[in-house]
Amino acid sequence: MITLIVGRKGSGKTKKLIERANEAVESSNGNVVVIEKGLKLTYDISHQARLVDIDAYGIQGPEALAGFISGICAGNYDVTDIFVDSTLKIIGQDLKALKVFTEKMNALSALADTKITLLVSADSNELPEEIGSFAAQV
């Protein structure tokens, strides 16, 4: 299952991600992965979570990010939760591409039995209606 945490900049999305990631670490019987753009969450996320700086791997665009997340799932069957901060900064500001990306992540989530949470800096009314059901407004 995927979840989108949606809201404008400054609405508390990252705080919600930190809370959910740390809760996942406490309750998970596997691994929790947090993908971020830059190293701004180092001291906020539990050291038991795997923190990945996406910039270090040169990942840009929806296909590259989908492949990267698929590789994480394929390389470690114990991943229970994946959190992606700054999704639109990584894949680009194209909301149509976001729709295709979320559909791929939803399929991957079911296949790998992994919960995927994406942070999206946008108003929920700007999102394509097909992905509105995944959105949790902050």
Per-residue pLDDT of the chain (138 residues; tens, 9 = 90+): 899 999 888 888 999 999 999 999 999 999 999 999 988 888 999 999 999 999 999 999 999 999 999 999 999 989 999 999 999 999 999 888 999 999 999 999 999 999 999 999 888 888 887 787 777 655
Predicted pLDDT of residue 9: 86
Host H or E run for residue 52:
strand 50-53
Q: Which residue type, as a one-letter code, is found at position 71?
A: G
Predicted pLDDT of residue 136: 65
Q: CA distances (Å), 53 to each of 28, 101, 102, 135, in order?
A: 22, 20, 20, 24
Domain 2-137: homologous superfamily in CATH: P-loop containing nucleotide triphosphate hydrolases (3.40.50.300)
Instruction: Indicate whether this model's pTM tops 0.85.
Output: yes
Contact 56, 40 (CB under 8 A): no
Predicted pLDDT of residue 59: 95
Predicted pLDDT of residue 88: 94
Sheet strands side by side (includes 2-7): 50-53, 31-36, 79-84, 115-121, 2-7, 135-137
Predicted pLDDT of residue 134: 77
